[in-house]
Amino acid sequence: MTKERDQLQTERDVLSGGLSDLKKTCPEGWQKLESSWYFLSTETKTWKESREDCLERGADLVIIKSDKEKPFPFKLKKRVWIGLTDSDNEGTWKWVDGTPLTTGFWYDPQPDNGVKDCVEIRTDQSPLKAWNYLSCLENRHWICEKGV
């Protein structure tokens, strides 16, 4: 019985370690899609506050870089901040990682000029025309993204 007990304790320890590793790779409140984890906020903040929240979580605001990511925010049924801004240079759109925007999915007649430097996704629009140019001081939900 002692040998069987020791074997069961060893198996328990191995399984417990595996569960701990799984928790590390699957953070609470995050969802996996492709090779990234996404955090969906339950509150609203300004674009800057939203980005700060993401950075504190070891992530950044979401960058839409694949066709598989485009419909993802629509499942939320909320208007959400994404990691796109022209706040450094009006009309020059860059993602939070510094890469320039190559393809946009703007809500007509966006983007226009003005003091609206941040981008939200409007879920009441088609995914191909859902990006809305908005004042960064507005409060919206947001999506953080980090690599797996």
Domain extent at residue 77: 30-147
* Residue 4 lies inside a defined structural domain of this protein: no
Q: Is residue 108 part of a domain?
A: yes
Assign 3-class secondary structure to the chain. CHHHHHHHHHHHHHHHHHHHHHHHHCCCCEEEECCEEEEECCCCECHHHHHHHHHHCCCEECCCCCCCCCCHHHHHCCCEEEEEECCCCCCCCEECCCCECCCCCECCCCCCCCCCCEEEECCCCCHHHCEEEECCCCCEEEEEEEEC
Whether residue 6 has pLDDT greater than 70: yes
Q: Domain holding 131: CATH number?
A: 3.10.100.10
Does residue 19 lie in a domain region?
no
Give the whole-number percent of the chain exceeding pLDDT 70: 80
User: Does the residue 25 lie in any domain?
Assistant: no
Number of independent structural domains in the chain: 1
* Residue 9, in any domain of the structure: no
Model confidence at 124, in pLDDT bands (50, 70, 90)?
confident
Q: With respect to residue 23, please indicate whether it lies within any of the assigned structural domains.
A: no
12 or 78: which leads in pLDDT: 78
